[in-house]
Amino acid sequence: MSRKLLTAMGAALALSLAACGGEGAGGGGNTENADPEDLSIGVAMPTETSERWIADGNSVKEQLEAQGYEVNLQYAGDDIPTQSQQVDQMITQGADALIIAAIDGTALSGQLQAAADAGIPVISYDRLIRDTENVDFYVSFDNFKVGVAQGNALLTGLGIANDDAPDGTATGPFNIELFA
C-alpha cells in the first residue's frame, strides 16, 4: 500500500472527525503507482440508526471520492454477524484498504487476518479493534480536548466561568458554592 494512499485516507478520516476492486480474494498488493480511480476502499460503519455514524460514513465517503477513490460504504445495523459478512465481502471483492468502525472490538479477528493475508491495510475508526496485530492505523478523536471542551461547557453552563480573566479561569471555592 503506498504511503500516498494511506496519507490520503488518513487525511480524509481526519477531516471527517470535525467526521469494487479486482476479482477474487485479491486486493491490497502493490499500489505504489496506482491511480486513485483504480483503488477501492471498503468502509464498514456500525449503524444507520445514529445520526453520528451516518454523518461520519457520508463524510468519509465524500472525502475519499473527492480524491478519486471508489468507496464501498456499508452499515451493519449494530449486528456483529452482518458486519463480519460485510467485511468478508469487501475483502472478496478486492478492496485495497478497509476502514472499520467495529461494533465489537474483538469480533473481527478472522476478517482482519484475511485482510492481512491479502495485503489489505486496515484502519480502525474511532473504536479500537483489539486483540489483533492486523490493524495498521487507529484514528479517533483527541479525547483530552473533548474533556477540556466538556469541562469548559460545564463551567459556562453553571455560570461560573470567568470570561474577564485572560485565561478564562473561574474563581472559587466551588465545592462550597455548588454543594451548599
Q: 72-120 pLDDT, tens per residue? A: 999 999 999 999 999 999 999 999 999 999 999 999 999 999 999 999 9
The answer on 133 and 89 residing in a single domain is: yes
> How many domains, the chain?
2
Domain of residue 152, residue span: 143-179
Residue 115 and residue 170 share a domain = no
**pLDDT band, residue 23 (cuts 50/70/90):** very low
Domain check: are 168 and 80 in the same one? no
For the full predicted model, state whether its pTM sits above 0.85: no
Same domain for 53 and 37: yes
Do 159 and 82 have their domain in common?
A: no
User: Is residue 127 classed as helix, strand or coil in its secondary structure?
Assistant: coil
Angle between helices 109-117 and 80-92 (to 10 degrees): 10
